[in-house]
Structure 1
């Protein structure tokens, strides 16, 4: 049975300002600040000789997780409270698949010289370059091969930040290679996650291009959201799968929960304010969802496979109606799934998928991108 390993939905939902809260004093005068519409985890400020990029901590409200000073000339003096990064980056090690589509949209895939777990990468260009030996395998993202990384001498290493010290990242940083913490995964909305393309773009001096790309995605998302907002009937949905006796469903504050609301659905936990995801037992799910209309994000590839995995699945109305959908349409034999990769930067396509399932009259003839109906 083919299965994908779902990225955990247990994301803490803190709100923090996009306005820099730096305690440092400097004689440099800021000229401008990068405009952000949704993302709350980073900020970019512009000074005459450098750019200041701040990553805020999602775990300790109001504090700085990392600070970078971006310079064209390495000899430029910058404040001592951050990491100096020479830009535009010429080479990069990228450790998470969630960062690849940003680089692809910005036309910077060729700068990638090292990746982690290449088996789960969907991007065709990256796979081609890896097969040609132009991209190195650096092992697992949580235990990255430091020696091999240092041999590549990349301009920077981009990784997801976590609420703990990473000894591997520390060793890379101590060797003089900037470690860039891309924390898009901690945002609480799909558009906020997608706006991190502007964070990536700052290290390539591609802010204008990123702003244009994101503006298009933002417009398409909100245009299709507006169409769904006027529907008279909202289908009741259930989400996720039973995994070893536990069923993880998104809370209403989770970015997936918000997606389902934007798609014009009724969801039992839509008003739940719990951060992240809800671990439920099968009995609770049966009680609250047995009579729903549609089952979304199911982690199986056929109805037979679904029922064989647990006979209780046959008790759910969506199974009887054959209205069950997975997120495996772009799943490779290697288990690489583009849902976890490009959908981060293209929430407009993901929302379109959901609306096409729940309200097909809104998007007649639409071909699903990430979602597939179980047969």
Structure 2
């Protein structure tokens, strides 16, 4: 993708870097607002500038290592080489790096000018009180959070992937301190990196442990200097999740029909994030112990043969009524769950455009998801439960 002369000129005028790290000067993005206030003003190499350190306990796909004035944030994708990013405290000199880190992308922290690609990133920034650092987002079309949507409208956040692909020119023209990806490759990333804008991979969606996925809040805490807030928030989520784990531990697993058909196919979870949530809530289905990971693509006939008589169905679907589900696939009426009126979908919090909060807030708050699932499958354990994400189709 080629860049206009206007964009190249703008980049040259605005992208101030020192040794690959955004400088903490009055002209740099990191110098304004809260980030500027947190910059080191009298650097001493003997001082540890990270009094609140994070440890990663549940997530498998990132780690954080501390040095006096910088962090090494390592992100991994199974089957691919690890990717390391150097996060240097604003006001400190660029560290002298060697070996695998010699060519690592570097970011001055805390950031005050960040682009992010996935809706799963929004709850972490919101919980950390750092939505204000978000200056660019892929597309507002499928965002559920009212706070995020208001922030986009009030501040003119750059939408850089409204057509599904990243617009490199839009990113380079703004020149953010960093762009956090949604965990998928895009040809634009190479162009953005060549423009000295760090592109940081985020693989939260690859975590199969619900707490591991929620723990990516610490990734954003490392970027925004909110380690203490992240620890308090995450520890509270773990405590709630453990409470619901203990609550369901003595119950017999409740069988369900997993999912609903979509465009002629039916996806059922194997060893996956969904099955981990089901297991915690003591829910099972006929494919629970099947080998493999991710999901199995099958058809309605196969699902009906194995699960048609099960009187409960749970789906992360946007369907809001029985009529809507049956209009898409009339044969669902033959399932016991439809006959008994026990079909639940995660559409309780949805926008008219189809954004589901279970794919947003639900990623950070698996405790709320598990509470809903327990109340569906074992209602006697949570009488009077107020559902967050799920609703029973009427």
Say yes or no: TM over 0.5. yes
Corresponding residue of 2:174: 152
Aligned 1:288-299 pairs, distance under 5 A: 288-297=306-315, 299=317
Please, which of 263, 286, 292 is the counterpart of residue 281 of structure 2? 263
Aligned pair count reads 342
The answer to whether the aligner puts 1:352 opposite 2:371 as a matched pair is yes
* Residue number in structure 1 paired with 2:197: 177
User: Aligned residue for 1:222?
Assistant: 242
Q: Deviations over 1:95-121 (max 9, x none)?
A: 110100000000000111111121111
- Measured in 2, the distance between the counterparts of 1:298 and 1:135 equals 29
Unaligned ranges ≥5, structure 2: 1-45
TM-score scaled by length of structure 2 = 0.82
Give the direction of change, closer, same or farther, for the CA distance of 1:288–1:78 in structure 2 (3 Å limit): farther
Q: Which one of the candidate residues 114, 130, 138 is aligned to 1:116?
A: 138
Shift of 1:245: 2.0
Q: Deviations over 1:151-191 (max 9, x none)?
A: 222111111223xx532111111111111211100111111
- Any idea what SS the aligned residue of 1:203 has? helix
Whether 1:199 aligns to 2:232 is no
Higher relative contact order (CA 8 A, sep 6+): 1
1:372 aligns with 2:391: yes
- Find the counterpart in structure 1 of residue 66 from structure 2: 46
Q: How does 1:1-375 map to 2 (within 5 A)?
A: 34-60=54-80, 63-73=81-91, 75-79=93-97, 80-140=102-162, 142-162=164-184, 165-231=185-251, 233-251=252-270, 253-297=271-315, 299=317, 300-375=319-394
Alpha-carbon RMSD across the aligned residues, in angstroms, is 2.1
Q: Distance in 2 between matches of 1:245 and 1:75?
A: 57
Cα displacement (A) at 1:286: 0.6
Mapped to 2, the partners of 1:144 and 1:70 lie a distance apart of 27
When residues 50 and 223 of structure 1 are mapped into structure 2, their CA distance, relative to the original with a 3 A threshold, is: same
Contact residue 260 and residue 267 of structure 1 kept, 8 A = no
**Which one has the largest radius of gyration?**
2
What TM-score does the superposition give when structure 1 sets the normalisation length?
0.86
Deviations 1:107-163 (A, max 9, x none): 00011111112111111122112223431221348521222212222111111223x
Contact 1:66 1:181 in 2 (8 A): no
